[in-house]
Structure 1
Amino acid sequence: MKKLSLVFAAIFSALMILSLTPPQQPQAATDDSLARIQQKGTLIMGNSPNYPPYEFTTNVNGKEKIVGMDIEIGKQIAKDLGVKLVVKKMDFDSLLVALETGKVDMILSGFSPTAERKQHVDFSDTYYTAKQDIIVLKTDKGYYQSRTSFNNKKVGAVVGSIAYDLIKQQMPGATPVGMQNASDLVLALKAHKIDGIVKDSASAVAYANADTSLAAIDGHFTVSGSESGNAIALPKGSLALQTAINKSIAKIKQKDLINKQFLPAAAKYISTGAETHSMWHYWTYFAKGVGYTIGISFVALIVGALLGALLAFVRLGSITWLKTLANAYVAFVRGTPLMVQVMFIYFGLGMFYNISAIVAGTLAVGLNSAAYVSEIFRGGIEAIAPGQSEAARSLGLSQKDTMRYVVFPQALTAIWPALGNEFISLIKETSIVSIIGVADLIYQLRIVQADTYRGVLPITIAMVLYFIMTYSLSKVLKHFEKKMHHANA
C-alpha cells in the first residue's frame, strides 16, 4: 500500500510539472492579440509596485494608490488602444509566469529585454534607458567608488532583475544577495546585512533623495544593446499588439512625456511618502491586511477541517482505491512547499480556468491544511482503544453510530490541542499568498515600507497584529477545550 501511495504521489508531481509548463501554442493564421484586448475592453498590466519611481504604492487620502512612471505609460497605451488599464500586482519573479499563463496581457514593470527572456516572450521597443547605480549608506560613500570596490562584500538586488545578473557577471568578488522587493533590500542595507544595492539609476536616485541615510553611486556597469533599457514584455506571437504598443511608445518618446510629465509626477509622490512617517496615517492599510488575513484563514480553516476529516475517514475505511488516493494526496501535499502549491493553483490551474488570486490563495492554504488535519484526525481515532468500539458494537450500536457517539467524541477531545496548533499556524501561513498579489497583512506591510522608507516599525506593527490574532484564537480554543473536558468528566 505504501508503494502505491508513492506511485500516486509521483503521478501528482508529474501532473503538476506538466501543468506549470506552458503548452506550445500553434502559430495562428491570424493574429488576434490586439482585437481580443479591444473586444474585452481592458488591458491587464502585470506589475510589481515596489520600484520607485517606476511603480510604487502611496497613500492618497487614506487609500492605496499605485503610481509611477510605468503606470503612466500603461495609462497612455491603454488610452491609445481605446481600452481601460487594469493593473495586476504580484511579486516581480512571478510576472513572467503570469504572462505565459495568460493572467496578464503585458508586463510593464521596469523589465529589461534580456536574451534569456526573449526566448519566452516578445518585447516592445525600449521606452527608457538608464544606467545601473549602487545604493550605499551615506557614511560609506567615500569608501565605495564603483562596482570594483565591493570585493568580499555582499551586494543585493531584486531576484529575477537584470541588476541581480550584473552582480554575478560584473562583480566577481562580491556575493550576490537576492530578495523579493526593494524595501527588504533597503532594510537589509540599513541593518548592515548587505553592503550595497544595485538598482536602476532613476530608482537609486529616488531612494537616495527620499532617505538622507542613503547615497547613490555610479556602478560603471557595462550593459550593451537593448538590455540597457526597459521594454514591455508581451506574449509570443502577439505582433498586432506589439505594433500598436510601439506606436504609443514612439509618441511618448517624441513628446518626451517621461521626462516632462511621468517622472516629475512620480517624484511628487515619493516626496509625499517620504514625509509621511506616522504609522497611524497607514492604519487603513494594516486594517485591510488584517481583514484579508482573517477572512482567508477562516475560509481555509473550514475547508481544511471538513476535507481533513473526510480524508481521515476515507483512510480508515475499507475502500482500497479511495484509501490509496487519500494517502497519495496527503503524501503529496505534505511533501511539497505551500508556496509552490499556491503558485500551482494560481498559475497552473489558471491556464484552464480563470481563478482570482484571493480564491487561489485561500484554496491552496485550505487544501494544504487538510492534509495535516487528516493526519491529526487519523492519529486521534486510531489512539482510541479497540475495546471501546467492541463494547459499543456488543451493545447493538452500528459501526456508524459507534464512530459518531463513542470513538469520535473521545478522539476530538484528545486531538483538540493539536488541531488548535494547526489552526493557529494557518493564520501565519496565509502570509505566503502575498506572492500572487493578495493584499494580506504581509502585502500591506511591504506597501507601508515602500511608502515610508521605514523597515523595522511596520514589521513590529505586523508582528503585534499577528500576535493579537493568534493569541485571541488560542484563548477561544482553550475555552472550548475546557468545555469538552468538563463534558467528558
Structure 2
Amino acid sequence: MKKIKKVVVLLALFLGFITCITPALAAGASSSSNSTSSSAVSGDELAKIKANGKLVVGLSADYPPLEFTKKINGKTEYVGVDIEIAKQIAKDLGVKLEIKNLSFDSLLVAMETGKIDVIISGMNPTAERKQSVDFSNTYYSGGKSFLIMKGDENKYKNKDSFVGKKVGAQNGTTEYKLIKSDVKGATPEGLSKLSNLVLDLQSRKIDGVLMDSLIAKAYAANNKQFVAIDSGIEVSEDQSGVAVALPKNQPALKTAINKTLGQIKKDNLIDKKYVPQAAKYMETVKQSNGMLNYWNYFAKGVGYTILITVISVTAGFVLGTLLALMRLAKSKFLHAIAVCYIEFIRGTPLMVQIMFVYFGIGALIGSLPALLAGIIAISLNSGAYVAEVIRSGIESIPAGQTEAARSLGLSQGKTYRYVIIPQALKNIWPALGNEFITLLKDSSMVSIIGVTELMYQTQLVQTTTYKGVLPLFITMLLYFVMTFTVSKFLGYFEGKMKHNE
C-alpha cells in the first residue's frame, strides 16, 4: 500500500510539473495558439461571448483572398475578406476579436468542443454540415475552378478533361466531394492544407486542384506557374455560397451575425472594400516574398520547437523512469498499470493523441491552451517509449550487481540510485539520444492544433509567399541543424561516460 501511495504522489507531482511550468509559457504564444473558449458549447453563446469580452473565430488561413497571412511591421497579421467580416461582427458585438488558425478539417470539431465560438473560413453551408451546426445567411457566392500548371491549358479544359487524372482538394471541403461526384474518372487526393496541395501540383504529383474560383484566380494572379480554368461543375447555392458557421440552437447569436452581414451586403463592402484590400495585400506580398523577409517566422518556429522539446524531454524522462520502475516492481498492480499505459500509448498514433488531449480532454477540463495540450501529449507519448528504454537498460545489468550492493547493506532504493541506474544510463544513452532526436522532429505534429512551432510557421510562409518548395527546404535545413547539434551534444557526454569507465 505504501508503494502505491508513493506512485500516486509521484504521478501527481509529474502532472503538476507539466501543468505549472507551461501555462506561463502558453500565455506568451500567439493568439492562434491559445484556447480561450468555454469547455463546451451550451446555453446562450451570445451572452457568453459578451461576458468573455471576445469572439473566438476559427479559420484556416491558407485561402487567399478570403483569409491568409501578411507580414505587417515585422508581425504576422491575418488579412482577407473573412478577417474583415470577423472584425466587423466583433465590433458590432462590442467585443475583441481573437483568431484561431487550424486545419480546415478540424474546425467543426473545434467548435463542437468549445475551442472556438464561430467559423468564418469560406465554409459552404451544405445539408450535411447543417446536421451538426447552424449557418448564417450567405455573404459570398462563387463557382468552382481548377488550378493547373501553365502550359497545360490545352490538356485541361473542364471537368471532363481529368479522366484518369489525380485531382486535389482540401480535406473536409465541398470541393473534395464534388471531385467524387462530378469529376468522373478522376482520383481525388485530399490534404488538410491548400498550400500543400499547391505544392503537390508544382511537383506534378497531381494534375489539378479544385477550389473556389476566387481562390484559384488569386493563386494564378500571384504565381506565373499557375493558370485557373472554369471547372464546368454546376453547383447549388449551398455548395457555392459561403456563410458563418455557429453552434446549433443559438438564435440570438445567429440574429446578431445576420444583422452585421446584412449591413455589409447593403453597403457592398465585400466588392468595394474587402476584396480590393485583400488584393492589395496579395500584391505587396508578391513584391517582397523573398525568404530573408520571413526570417523571423522561422526564428519563432525554432524557438517554440526547442521549447516544446526541452519540456517534453524532461517530463517524458521523469514519467518514463517512473513507468519503468513500476513495470519492474514486484507488485502485480503497479506492473499491470505500467504495461497497459505503455502498450496503449505505443499502439496509438501521436497525432491522434495530440488531438485527443486538445479537443477531447480539453473539452472536459475547460480552457486548455494549444501549447500546453501539445506538450502534455508529446510528454505522455515520450514517457512510454523512454520507459521501455530504461527498463531494458536496468535488465541488462547483471543480477550480481544488485546482490553485491544489498550484501553491503544498501537498501533497494539506494541500490537503484547508486549502482543500477548509473550503469544502466551508460548502456541506454545512445537509445535515449535517439528518442530525444525523434521527439524534436515529432514536435512538428502539434502544428495541427495551431501551435506556432517550426512546421506551423513554414506553412504560414508557404501561404504568404505562394512558394511551396523553398520554405520546406529551409525548414529541412533548420531541423538538420537542430538534430545535428543535439547529436553532437549527446555524443560528447557519451564519450565522457566511456572515459570514466
The TM tier, using the shorter chain, reads over 0.9
Residues 321-361 of structure 1 show CA distances to partners (whole Å, capped at 9, x for unaligned) of 22211111111100000000000000001112210001101
SS at the partner of 1:199? strand
SS at the partner of 1:103? coil
How far has the Cα of 1:61 moved from its partner?
2.5
SS at the partner of 1:44? strand
Residues 87-109 of structure 1 show CA distances to partners (whole Å, capped at 9, x for unaligned) of 11111111010000000000000
Q: Distance in 1 between matches of 2:428 and 2:178?
A: 53
Matched, 1:274 2:274: no
1:315 corresponds to: 327
Q: Indicate which of 58, 82, 90 corresponds to 1:46.
A: 58
How far has the Cα of 1:292 moved from its partner?
0.5
Matched, 1:430 2:449: no
Q: Distance in 2 between matches of 1:204 and 1:135?
A: 6
1:18 corresponds to: none
- 1:135-154 mapped onto 2 (5 Å cutoff): 135-154=147-166
1:463 corresponds to: 476
Q: Indicate which of 224, 231, 251 corresponds to 1:219.
A: 231
SS at the partner of 1:46? strand
Cα contact 1:289–1:442 (8 A) shared by 2:
yes
Matched, 1:113 2:125: yes
SS at the partner of 1:88? strand
Cα contact 1:33–1:239 (8 A) shared by 2:
no
Q: Indicate which of 314, 318, 324 corresponds to 1:306.
A: 318
Q: How many residues are treated as equivalent by the alignment?
A: 461
Residues 300-324 of structure 1 show CA distances to partners (whole Å, capped at 9, x for unaligned) of 0011001100110111112222221
| Equivalent position amino acid for 2:399 in 1 | P
Matched, 1:254 2:303: no
Residues 223-254 of structure 1 show CA distances to partners (whole Å, capped at 9, x for unaligned) of 11323201111111111101110111111111
Matched, 1:196 2:187: no
Cα contact 2:65–2:215 (8 A) shared by 1:
yes
2:403 corresponds to: 390
2:462 corresponds to: 449
SS at the partner of 1:134? strand
Q: Percent identity?
A: 54
Matched, 1:420 2:425: no
Q: TM-score, normalised by structure 2?
A: 0.90
Q: Distance in 1 between matches of 2:485 and 2:351?
A: 26
Cα contact 1:156–1:185 (8 A) shared by 2:
yes
Q: Distance in 1 between matches of 2:465 and 2:101?
A: 19
Q: Distance in 2 between matches of 1:44 and 1:72?
A: 14
How far has the Cα of 1:299 moved from its partner?
0.4
- 1:367-382 mapped onto 2 (5 Å cutoff): 367-382=380-395
Q: Distance in 1 between matches of 2:285 and 2:60?
A: 18
| Equivalent position amino acid for 2:232 in 1 | H
2:373 corresponds to: 360
How far has the Cα of 1:380 moved from its partner?
0.6
Cα contact 1:133–1:219 (8 A) shared by 2:
yes
Q: Indicate which of 358, 362, 369 corresponds to 1:350.
A: 362
| Equivalent position amino acid for 2:94 in 1 | G
Q: Indicate which of 275, 281, 289 corresponds to 1:263.
A: 275
Q: Distance in 1 between matches of 2:48 and 2:316?
A: 39
Matched, 1:58 2:70: yes
SS at the partner of 1:140? coil
2:8 corresponds to: none
Residues 389-440 of structure 1 show CA distances to partners (whole Å, capped at 9, x for unaligned) of 1122122222111111111111100000000000011110000000001111
2:11 corresponds to: none
Q: Distance in 1 between matches of 2:89 and 2:393?
A: 59
Q: Distance in 1 between matches of 2:265 and 2:471?
A: 39
| Equivalent position amino acid for 1:412 in 2 | L
1:72 corresponds to: 84
How far has the Cα of 1:277 moved from its partner?
2.8
Q: Distance in 2 between matches of 1:413 and 1:343?
A: 35
Bigger shift: 237-246 or 368-377? 237-246
Q: Distance in 2 between matches of 1:49 and 1:412?
A: 45
How far has the Cα of 1:374 moved from its partner?
0.2
Cα contact 1:157–1:177 (8 A) shared by 2:
yes
- 1:150-229 mapped onto 2 (5 Å cutoff): 150-229=162-241
SS at the partner of 1:51? coil
SS at the partner of 1:50? coil
1:476 corresponds to: 489
| Equivalent position amino acid for 1:311 in 2 | L
How far has the Cα of 1:449 moved from its partner?
0.9
| Equivalent position amino acid for 2:495 in 1 | K
Q: Distance in 1 between matches of 2:201 and 2:287?
A: 21
| Equivalent position amino acid for 1:153 in 2 | K
Cα contact 1:275–1:452 (8 A) shared by 2:
no
SS at the partner of 1:39? helix
Cα contact 2:141–2:237 (8 A) shared by 1:
no
Q: Distance in 1 between matches of 2:239 and 2:146?
A: 18
- 1:92-103 mapped onto 2 (5 Å cutoff): 92-103=104-115
Q: Distance in 1 between matches of 2:169 and 2:474?
A: 26
Cα contact 1:150–1:173 (8 A) shared by 2:
yes
SS at the partner of 1:109? strand
Q: Indicate which of 34, 42, 52 corresponds to 2:46.
A: 34
SS at the partner of 2:97? strand
| Equivalent position amino acid for 2:289 in 1 | H
SS at the partner of 1:232? strand
Q: Indicate the RMSD between aligned Cα atoms, in angstroms.
A: 1.2
Q: Distance in 1 between matches of 2:475 and 2:451?
A: 16
Cα contact 2:142–2:213 (8 A) shared by 1:
yes
Q: Distance in 2 between matches of 1:350 and 1:435?
A: 15
Q: Distance in 2 between matches of 1:457 and 1:283?
A: 13
How far has the Cα of 1:38 moved from its partner?
1.2
Cα contact 2:162–2:185 (8 A) shared by 1:
yes
Residues 245-294 of structure 1 show CA distances to partners (whole Å, capped at 9, x for unaligned) of 01111111111111111111111111111222321110000000000000
Q: Distance in 1 between matches of 2:205 and 2:126?
A: 29
Cα contact 1:413–1:484 (8 A) shared by 2:
yes
Q: Indicate which of 412, 416, 419 corresponds to 1:406.
A: 419
Cα contact 1:137–1:215 (8 A) shared by 2:
yes
How far has the Cα of 1:142 moved from its partner?
2.1
Q: Distance in 2 between matches of 1:459 and 1:369?
A: 26
Q: Distance in 2 between matches of 1:36 and 1:278?
A: 43
Matched, 1:333 2:345: yes
